[in-house]
Amino acid sequence: MSRVALVTGAGRGLGAALARMLAADGFCLALHCHCSRGEAQALAADLRQAGADSAVFGADLADELQAWEMIHAVADRFGRLDILVNNAGVYAARDLADLGTHAWREGLDSTATAAFFTTRAALPLLRLSPAGRVINIGDSSCDRPTARDLALSYHIGKTGVLMITRSFAAAEAAHGVTVNMISPGYLDNSVELPHPSIIPAGRHGTFADIHHALRHLLDPGASYLTGSNLVVSGGWNLR
């Protein structure tokens, strides 16, 4: 039976790209969306046409009950869950003076809160998998808190996701579930891309770069690798 991967924020961008790549790797795909249902449904149709079983699940993952309900719906539809990719996150490039209540909460809720509730809800299924994996998507500076003039709550949330990663990794190691983080640098679809010349690798990252890291963490031989933060930034984080 094919393994099942749940990708949050799968309607567009990195989430959609990883879903396509995981489908090509032989996974069945549970596609989460919140505000991008049309895009997620179109993606699911494409994946099914290509031969990969897929379905769409809508939820506000900052709501604990909705996170539980989504996981139960995934279990009813597929009967199992092997991989959780916590990719959802809303980046709003607002400065400190313009960061109101909604944007502040959205930055935190779409990252740390969503990752926490979704992971906790998924653990009973992941423990039943022969190779349960949680992969959280961070950013290349989440392990180095510093001043931020834009999207402060988003960056606080991503640092929180790193703490969530390590906390669940410690708690779940005895159950055979690994929990790791992939932290991209600037990808081709990033907001306000810097000139490639200031990135040590001389280029922006691609979705394929993140997929390669993901495949490494999903490999059966990576069962002893947990609590790690794999920075995929072409050296951007080393500045």
Give the model's confidence band at 145: pLDDT under 50 very low, under 70 low, under 90 confident, else very high: confident
Q: What percent of the chain has pLDDT over 90?
A: 76
Give the model's confidence band at 198: pLDDT under 50 very low, under 70 low, under 90 confident, else very high: confident
User: How much is the mean pLDDT over the chain?
Assistant: 93
**5 neighbors 29 (Cβ within 8 angstroms):** yes
> Nearest 5°: CA angle at 232, between 145 and 55?
100
pLDDT tops 80 at residue 58: yes
Domain 4-238 is found in CATH 3.40.630.30: no
Q: What torsion, rounded to 10 degrees, do the Cα atoms 113, 182, 162, 155 define?
A: -70
pLDDT tops 90 at residue 229: yes
* 186 or 58, greater pLDDT: 58
Type of residue numbered 208: A
pLDDT of residue 135: 99
pLDDT of residue 199: 80
Kindly state the tokens that stand for 214: 């993901």
**191 neighbors 13 (Cβ within 8 angstroms):** no
Rounded to two decimals, the pTM is: 0.94
In what helix (H) or strand (E) does residue 47 lie, and over which residues does it extend?
Answer: helix 37-49
pLDDT tops 80 at residue 192: no
Q: Tokens 């190779």 belong to which residue?
A: 131
Query: pLDDT for 3-21, tens place per residue?
Result: 999 999 999 999 999 999 9
Cα of 49 vs its chain's centroid, Å: 24
What is the rounded CA–CA span in Å between residue 235 and residue 223? 26
**Domain map (residue ranges) of the chain:** 4-238
Give the model's confidence band at 42: pLDDT under 50 very low, under 70 low, under 90 confident, else very high: very high
In 3D space, the residue among 211, 216, 185, 214 whose CA is nearest the CA of residue 200 turns out to be 185
Determine the longest span between alpha carbons in the chain, in angstroms: 52
Query: pLDDT for 71-117, tens place per residue?
Result: 999 999 999 999 999 999 988 888 899 989 999 999 999 999 999 99
pLDDT of residue 214: 98
Q: Treating both helix axes as pointing N-terminal to C-terminal, what angle do 114-128 and 152-172 enclose, rounded to 10 degrees?
A: 20
What are the φ and ψ backbone dihedral angles of 109, each rounded to 5 degrees? -70, -35
